[in-house]
Amino acid sequence: MKGKIDLASGSGGEATKKLVSELFLKYFGNRELQKLADSALVNVEGKIAFTTDSFVVKPLLFPGGDIGKLAIFGTVNDLSVMGAKPLFISCAFIIEEGFDSEKLEKVVKSMAEAARQAKVEIVCGDTKVVEKGAADEIFINTSGIGKIIYSRLEPSRIKVGDAIIITGAIAEHGMAVMCAREKFFDKTPIKSDCAPVTDLILPLLKGKIELHASRDPTRGGLAAVLNELAASAKVGMMIVEDAIPIKPEVKYACEMLGIDPLYVACEGRAVIFCPESEAKKALSKIQKHPQGKDATIIGKVTKGNKVILKTAVADRILDAPSGLLLPRIC
């Protein structure tokens, strides 16, 4: 597709139809979406997981991903960490008038590829176009439906003594976006970790490994997630700084910029809570997946109500993030 997206493309008339058929149906095409009905009709038996996320990341394209891939995997991950098999995704675009059609096509193509990779179908959608200046290029909402297959993973099931596992190195997505946006460095090897976590979690449940809860540490990073879960499960947590996997280039960039990587978003990692007795089994299964090779046990659930970071020097309280760290990271 060439040219610019104009207001007519969001009017519901012929121009919208052209955009939908030449772009969305071309890349997302499946039987249900093709009907272009007011709702998709889908089959899910039993209990379902339902989630929504809007993506406003800036820049739209960054090393390791783009807003489209992020939107698909972000929603896929919100389903996966609840023990659900992601099935159906909705996709709603808010586009700024004058947005480049080729850039839109790149994003749409990337969403289609991500959906294929995550084995989900984009079954319904919506397109709005607002005047130039009323939005910043493009915002994407993806909502998702998954089937709860194996068990319910819920924060309330976290118990004192549980092991805390992280499935890979932290802070990569946030630092990749930030470096791409602010151009702090001429060139960095830091790439977003943006990926589906489904195959790191569901096989454990399928293998009858008992898990209590899991979550993907996105906005606010590992520190936010641990604090949230500690508060909702009414427990404390203790994690060991040296055990937390982090790539040297990410650590270096964080140090240079005075940013604590524990507060920086991941988009392809999960934190998993399981009974200590299950931890080694879980870990070895996760590590067999290429995306889980750096998975580690980083700590355990304790009594109390604080998240403590054990460093080489001393123990310190790892607070929930307050104020603003990095806007528009997802």
Residues numbered 63 to 82 that lie near its own copies (CB under 8 A) are 77-79, 81-82
- Here the contacts of 6-15 (C-beta below 8 Å, separation 24 or greater) are 6/97, 6/98, 6/129, 7/97, 7/129, 7/131, 8/129, 9/95, 9/127, 9/129, 10/95, 10/127, 10/128, 10/129, 10/130, 11/129
- CA dist list (Å): 280 to 160, 210, 274, 284, 285: 17, 12, 10, 6, 9
Phi, psi of 313, deg, nearest 5: -95, -50
324 binds its own copies (CB under 8 A): yes
Under rule CB under 8 A, residue 25 binds its own copies? no
Stretch of residues binding its own copies (CB under 8 A), selected from 21-29, 142-150, 238-246, 303-311: 142-150
Residue 143 in contact with its own copies, rule: CB under 8 A: yes
Contact status: 39 vs its own copies (CB under 8 A): yes
Q: What is the CA radius of gyration of the chain?
A: 20
In the complex with its own copies, the residue whose CB is nearer, 77 or 101, is 77
Applying CB under 8 A, among 24, 139, 150, 273 the residue interacting with its own copies is 139
Question: Residue 276 CB, nearest distance to its own copies (Å)?
Answer: 23
SS3 100: strand
Site size toward its own copies (CB under 8 A) is: 84
- Nearest approach, Cβ of residue 150 and its own copies (Å): 13
Distance in Å from the first CA to the final CA of the chain = 26
**Interface residue with its own copies, options 60, 71, 72, 84 (CB under 8 A):** 84
User: Smallest distance from the beta carbon of 218 to its own copies, in angstroms?
Assistant: 7
Residues 192-231 that bind its own copies (CB under 8 A): 215-216, 218-220, 224, 228
Using CB under 8 A as the binding rule, whether residue 157 contacts its own copies is answered as no
Q: Kindly state the smallest distance separating residue 88's Cβ from its own copies, in Å.
A: 6
List of residues 6+ apart from 252 with CB closer than 8 A: none
Q: Are 10 and 111 in contact (CB under 8 A)?
A: no
Complete edge-to-edge strand list for the sheet that includes strand 213-215 = 213-215, 271-274, 163-166, 296-302, 236-240, 307-310, 315-317
**Residues in region 257-296 near its own copies by CB under 8 A:** none
Q: Are 86 and 119 in contact (CB under 8 A)?
A: yes
Report residue 116: phi and psi, to 5°.
-60, -45
Shortest spacing between CB 5 and its own copies, in angstroms: 12
Among 161, 189, 207, 327, binds its own copies (CB under 8 A): 327
Span of 43-51, 112-120, 185-193, 291-299 interacting with its own copies by CB under 8 A: 43-51
Q: Does 20 bind its own copies (CB under 8 A)?
A: no
- Which residues within the stretch 231-260 sit at the binding site for its own copies (CB under 8 A)? 232
Selected range binding its own copies among 119-127, 251-259, 276-284, 308-316, rule: CB under 8 A: 119-127
User: Count of alpha carbons within 13 Å of 50, Cβ hemisphere only?
Assistant: 4
Q: Does 42 bind its own copies (CB under 8 A)?
A: yes
87 and 146 Cβ atoms separated by less than 8 Å: yes
Q: Decide if residue 43 touches its own copies (CB under 8 A).
A: yes
